[in-house]
């Protein structure tokens, strides 16, 4: 076993940060392959909590290589702040243990401005983005007016490419959104300050990953967001602008698809979603509120309250098939303790028909009513469980049911935010 991809099967925030940190102890490399600083991955170590956005979640372990690969969009200013704040807390980050792809596209201030302007436009389409400029940065990458970190090489190139990008953006700012325009020269000055700080970290990361793979090193691929937010397979248009599915590991990290060996699918024991878009099992009542409070379901990036609901086996099954998930990491089981009767959606009902799949059309999905299986809850706190035997039998039954409904065995069960609060059922490395 040499590599494992870790992906969220729901709408993000399944606990990927905790699980990546945990598995990093035995890994050599931890690679972020898509998304940007829209991600908020929380690591809890003793009395310290770290919220990571672009820096991979293996960074706390000494002697590991962290890689931000080319599929990631990087906000240089935000990344510098993240590195500085981690360093100030004693985390060792040097060009030896953090490599950032020179092919990764930059999120620039005009991307953030555009994201915000679109989200606040009265006649626009509100997605409920994280406001980090993710969509506009991926748009520029696809339309070939983006700037890559490697472009920091030359001030002249920067100026001409920023001028090109600003031509259309300034027109939109001035005439469509009525916000101040930006000057290429001012931006280049700002960018040159970032260059000094980031240049030593830049590398051809695909070569690093391929070399590690050939040498049989242990690699973790850290997904951001979740499959239901995938730009191709999620509830479009209420999605992010990248592919959190495992196909993106190959493209984003620069590895042949056949070299991916294991896929661990993160499944929170219930569901949460931030931002707009259909959410069939959402609980808009007091119970939803209780889950939010007990599970501290507030965004690690934006602080927004997360919408909460029951586990949706229909969409998780879809994620498992899309990603080739072979095992599950079931997280936040402890949050369900004491809630009384528990439910899992096994099907959707749409226009009088039962569906065992997620309809392609987002408007159809919005009309789907969940069909639930209901069973007894577990009263006891499970946070101190370290083996299945330590769990109340109802909690064990809940886990078995998830495994049955999803059709994959659990590799681990997380019963609290801390590293130790984990029941390990399968060792990857």
Does position 40 interact with Mg ion (CB under 5 A)? The reply is yes
Minimum CB distance to ligand IMO, residue 240 (Å):
3
Please choose which of ligand IMO, ligand GDP, Mg ion, none residue 141 contacts, taking the beta carbon within 5 to 8 angstroms, the exact cut-off set by kind.
none
Catalytic residues: 13, 41
- Per CB under 6 A, 37 contacts ligand IMO: no
Question: How far is residue 265's CA from residue 4's CA, in Å, rounded to a whole number?
Answer: 10
Shortest distance, position 341 Cβ to ligand IMO, whole Å: 27
Residue 13 binds Mg ion, judged by CB under 5 A: yes
Nearer to Mg ion, 37 or 235 (CB): 37
Site for ligand IMO in 290-309 (CB under 6 A): 300
Shortest Cβ 156–ligand IMO spacing (Å): 32
Total of residues contacting ligand GDP (CB under 6 A): 23
Q: What are phi and psi of 52, to 5 degrees?
A: -100, 145
In the complex, what is the shortest distance from the CB of residue 105 to ligand GDP, in angstroms, rounded to a whole number? Answer: 22
Q: Kindly state the tokens that stand for 286.
A: 């007091």
398 and 269 in contact (C-beta within 8 Å)? yes
Q: Is 300 in the site for Mg ion (CB under 5 A)?
A: yes
* Strand-by-strand arrangement of the 65-68 sheet: 202-203, 98-101, 65-68, 29-32, 219-222, 3-8, 262-268, 327-331, 410-414, 422-424
Query: Pick from 35, 36, 40, 278: which binds ligand GDP (CB under 6 A)?
Result: 40
134 binds ligand IMO (CB under 6 A): yes
For residue 226, what are its two tokens? Answer: 């979740």
Backbone angles phi, psi at 67, to 5 degrees: -125, 130
The DSSP-derived string for 383-396 is: TT--SGGGS-HHHH
Residue 309 contact partner, candidates ligand GDP, ligand IMO, Mg ion, none, CB within 5 to 8 A by sort of partner: none
Could you tell me how many residues make up the chain? 429
C-beta of residue 353 within 8 angstroms of C-beta of residue 327: no
CA–CA separation, 201 and 195 (whole Å): 10
Q: By CB under 6 A, tell whether 12 contacts ligand GDP.
A: yes
Q: Are 138 and 145 in contact (CB under 8 A)?
A: no
According to the binding rule CB under 6 A, does residue 230 interact with ligand GDP?
no
Nearest to 112 by CA among 85, 149, 145, 75: 75
Q: Does 416 bind ligand GDP (CB under 6 A)?
A: yes
Q: How far is the CB of 336 from ligand GDP (least distance, A)?
A: 10
Question: Residues in the site for ligand IMO, rule: CB under 6 A?
Answer: 8, 11-13, 38-41, 127-130, 132, 134-135, 224-226, 229, 240-241, 274-275, 300
């Amino acid at each position: 076993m040499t590599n494992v991809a870790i992906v969220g099967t729901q709408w993000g925030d399944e606990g990927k940060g905790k699980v990546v940190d945990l598995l990093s102890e035995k890994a050599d490399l931890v690679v972020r392959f898509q998304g940007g600083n829209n991600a908020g991955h929380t690591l809890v170590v003793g009395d310290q909590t770290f919220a990571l956005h672009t820096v991979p979640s293996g960074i706390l372990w000494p002697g590991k290589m962290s890689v931000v690969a080319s599929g990631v969009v990087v906000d240089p200013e935000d990344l510098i702040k993240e590195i500085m704040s981690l360093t100030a807390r004693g985390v060792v980050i040097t060009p030896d243990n953090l490599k950032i792809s020179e092919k990764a596209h930059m999120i620039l201030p005009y991307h953030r401005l555009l994201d915000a302007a679109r989200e606040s436009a009265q006649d626009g389409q509100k997605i409920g983005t994280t406001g980090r400029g993710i969509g506009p940065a991926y748009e520029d990458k696809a339309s070939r007016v983006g700037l890559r970190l490697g472009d920091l090489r030359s001030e002249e190139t920067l100026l001409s490419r920023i001028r090109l990008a600003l031509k259309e953006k300034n027109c939109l700012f001035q005439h469509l959104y009525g916000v101040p325009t930006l000057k290429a020269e001012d931006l280049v000055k700002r960018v040159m300050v970032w260059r000094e700080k980031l240049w030593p970290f830049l590398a051809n990361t695909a070569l690093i990953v391929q070399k590690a793979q050939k040498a049989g090193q242990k690699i973790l691929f850290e997904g951001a967001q979740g499959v239901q937010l995938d730009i191709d397979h999620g509830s479009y248009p209420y999605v992010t602008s990248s592919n959190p599915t495992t196909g993106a590991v190959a493209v984003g990290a620069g590895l042949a698809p056949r070299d991916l060996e294991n896929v661990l699918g993160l499944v929170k024991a219930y569901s949460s979603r931030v931002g707009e878009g259909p959410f069939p099992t959402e609980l808009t009542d007091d119970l939803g509120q209780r889950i939010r409070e007990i599970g501290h379901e507030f965004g690690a990036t934006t602080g927004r309250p997360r919408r909460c609901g029951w586990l949706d086996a229909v969409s998780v099954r879809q994620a498992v098939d899309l990603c080739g998930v072979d095992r599950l990491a079931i997280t936040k089981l402890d949050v369900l303790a004491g809630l009384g009767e528990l439910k899992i959606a096994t099907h959707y009902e749409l226009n009088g028909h039962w569906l065992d799949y997620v309809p392609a059309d987002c408007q159809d999905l919005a009309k789907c009513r969940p069909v639930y299986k209901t069973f007894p809850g577990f009263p006891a706190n499970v946070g101190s469980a370290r083996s299945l035997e330590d769990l109340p039998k109802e909690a064990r039954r809940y886990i078995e049911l998830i495994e049955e409904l999803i059709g994959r065995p659990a590799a681990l069960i997380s019963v609290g935010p801390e590293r130790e609060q984990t029941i390990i059922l399968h060792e990857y490395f």
